[in-house]
Every structure is written in C-alpha cells, then in structure tokens.
Structure 1
Amino acid sequence: MFKLDQYKFKEEYTYYMLQALKVGKKEAFRKDFLNLHPTDQMQFFIELDEARRSRVYAFLSPEEFREIFGELDPFMQKTCIAELDRHYAIEMLNDLPSDDAAFLRSAVR
C-alpha cells in the first residue's frame, strides 16, 4: 500500500485508474486501486461521477467497498446507498462496524 503524495505521479496514476474503469479492465483497476492508501481510495472515489462510481461498485466486492464507505461523509454515504444494488448494499452494510452503522442510521433519518 502506498500514499499518493507527488502531484505528477498522482495525476498519472489517476489517469490509468480512470482508463481501466472506462474500458472495463477490472483486474488492472483492482490492482492499482487496492494498492492505494484508504485515504487516497476515498479521495479518488468521491471525485467520480455516478457512472464511474457504478463501475467501481461492480469491480469491488461489498467487503472491499465497505472500507471506502466508512470514510465517506454522511451525504456521500446516502448517495452511495441510493446507487447500490439492494443485495450489494445489504452485504456491505451487514458487516459495518456497529459505531459506523449507528452513525449511518442517525444520518439517514
């Protein structure tokens, strides 16, 4: 795992991940994305449009996405829940740590 802290490198790395999403290179995307520090995963994810977020959901397991989901702000969490397939969302939320689940419940109300 590494942290993206050099602007030029970050820009290049982001470009390759976006290309992998665009053309459907699931394994290439997963390799690069899952190698990122969780903070960088979250930052990359929140900058995506809905179509690209949908591709991320398809490329990551619910367990992998849960790691990103827990770091998102409540508004973005609600957005994700609305976008996710019901079964994917249930699987992702089932194992959410109890303090995160309680926070999510209060934010959704």
Structure 2
Amino acid sequence: MFKLDQYKFKEEYTYYMLQALKVGKKEAFRKDFLNLHPTDQMQFFIELDEARRLRVYAFLSPEEFGDIFGELDPFMQKTCIAELDRHYAIEMLSELPSDDAADFFGLLSDKEARSRRDQAAADV
C-alpha cells in the first residue's frame, strides 16, 4: 500500500486507473486502486463523476466499498446510498463497523431511517 502524494508519477497512476474504469478493465483497476492508501482511495473516489462512481461500485465488493464509505462526508454518503443498488447498499452497510453504520443512520432523518430499516427488513 502506498500514498499517492509520495508517488513520483501520481498523475500517470491516476490516469491509468481512470482508463481502466473507462474501458472496463476490472482487475487492472482493482489491483491499482486497492494498492492505494485508504485516504487516496477516498480522494480518488470523491473526484469521480456519477458514471465513474457507478463503475467503481461494480468493480468493488460491498465490503471494499464500505472502507471508503465510512470515510466520506455525510453529503457524499447520502449521494452514494442514492446511487447504489439496494442489495449492494444493504450488504455494504451491514459490513461497516457498527460505529460507522450508527454515524450514517444518525445523519438520516427519521423518515429516511425508517425507510432504510423497512427496506432492509423486507430483504431478509
């Protein structure tokens, strides 16, 4: 694992990850992305547009994405939840450490939290 700010060819490394996303090279993207420090994973992710974020969700397991999700700001967490497939979101949230999940659900309004809870119960 390494930090991009310490990597001599940061722009080139980022370019290759973007290219792998664009052309659907899942294993190449996973290898490069998962080799990054979690802070760099999050920074890379938040700079993506929705289409590229959707590709990231498809390339990462719910557990792997959960590592990023727990570090996102509340607005971005809500954005991601709205973009995610319901089953993926439920699995990702269930894989989060309990304190991260509690923090996220604490951000939701009562109506949103009830809706998420009811959806999860219906899927069980």
TM-score (norm 1): 0.90
1:107 and 1:53, CA in 2 relative to 1: closer, same or farther beyond 3 A?
farther
The separation in 2 between residues aligned to 1:24 and 1:81, in whole angstroms, is 22
The separation in 1 between residues aligned to 2:90 and 2:122, in whole angstroms, is 17
The separation in 1 between residues aligned to 2:75 and 2:9, in whole angstroms, is 30
The separation in 2 between residues aligned to 1:107 and 1:72, in whole angstroms, is 27
Whether contact under 8 Å (2:62, 2:95) holds in the other structure is: no
The separation in 1 between residues aligned to 2:99 and 2:123, in whole angstroms, is 14
The separation in 2 between residues aligned to 1:49 and 1:81, in whole angstroms, is 15
- Structure 1: 5+ residue stretches without partners: none
How far off its partner does 1:97 sit? 1.3
- Structure possessing the higher radius of gyration over alpha carbons: 2
How far off its partner does 1:108 sit? 20
- Structure 2: 5+ residue stretches without partners: 103-120
Q: Which has the higher contact order (CA 8 A, sep 6+)?
A: 1
1:101 and 1:51, CA in 2 relative to 1: closer, same or farther beyond 3 A?
same
How many corresponding residue pairs?
106
Whether contact under 8 Å (1:21, 1:52) holds in the other structure is: yes
Give % identity. Answer: 92
The separation in 1 between residues aligned to 2:32 and 2:60, in whole angstroms, is 12
What stretches of structure 1 move > 3 A for 4+ residues in a row?
Answer: 106-109
Q: Secondary structure at the match of 1:58?
A: helix
1:107 and 1:98, CA in 2 relative to 1: closer, same or farther beyond 3 A?
farther
- Please give the root-mean-square deviation of Cα atoms over the aligned residues, in Å: 4.0
TM-score (norm 2): 0.80
